[in-house]
Amino acid sequence: MLDYKIFDPSNPPKEDERKEIIKFLHTHLDQFRDTPEAIGNAVAYALGESSKPGGFILEGKEKGETVGVVVINKTGMESYIPDNILVYIAVDKKFRGKGYGRELMIKAIEMAEGDIKLHVEHDNPARFLYQKLGFTNKYMEMRLLRGKK
């Protein structure tokens, strides 16, 4: 069982903890990662900064070492879009395949109120984890990309 640190608008991380979370995600999201700036924006959103609806950040630790991090953003659109977006989940490479990703997902699902939406690339094996936990893909996601990085 992991030890958890939970950050949300009423309990934001200290500056060094925030930097560590962003660095952790940027390192361990591997090829699915975003820029540190984008990750920082999702973290700021989860903390309800700039009047955003908020969410939470779950940090799973073992013997003081960070094993994995989940970031949830609330949408504030619950009557027409799921209540929450699971923006990021990453487990440190050296801790993968031991059930920690599953444990973090179960904890995040328990904590999030309402439905959860997530985005996963077709070739990311993380989709097996989501499917095993009951996530389905009734909808096809389509995007109109306008050249912005």
Distance CA 110, CA 63 (A): 23
Minimum Å gap between C-beta 76 and ligand COA is 22
Q: What are phi and psi of 40, to 5 degrees?
A: -60, -35
The number of residues making up the chain comes to 149
Minimum Å gap between C-beta 11 and ligand COA is 24
What is the widest separation between alpha-carbon atoms in the chain? 45
Minimum Å gap between C-beta 105 and ligand COA is 8
Distance CA 28, CA 51 (A): 29
Distance CA 52, CA 73 (A): 9
- When the beta carbons of 11 and 27 are compared against ligand COA, the nearer one is 27
Minimum Å gap between C-beta 117 and ligand COA is 12
- When the beta carbons of 11 and 98 are compared against ligand COA, the nearer one is 98
- When the beta carbons of 20 and 48 are compared against ligand COA, the nearer one is 20
- When the beta carbons of 44 and 133 are compared against ligand COA, the nearer one is 133
Residues that bind ligand COA in the complex, under the rule CB under 6 A: 28-30, 32, 89-91, 96-102, 120, 124-126, 128-129, 132
The pair of structure tokens assigned to 53 is 């609806």
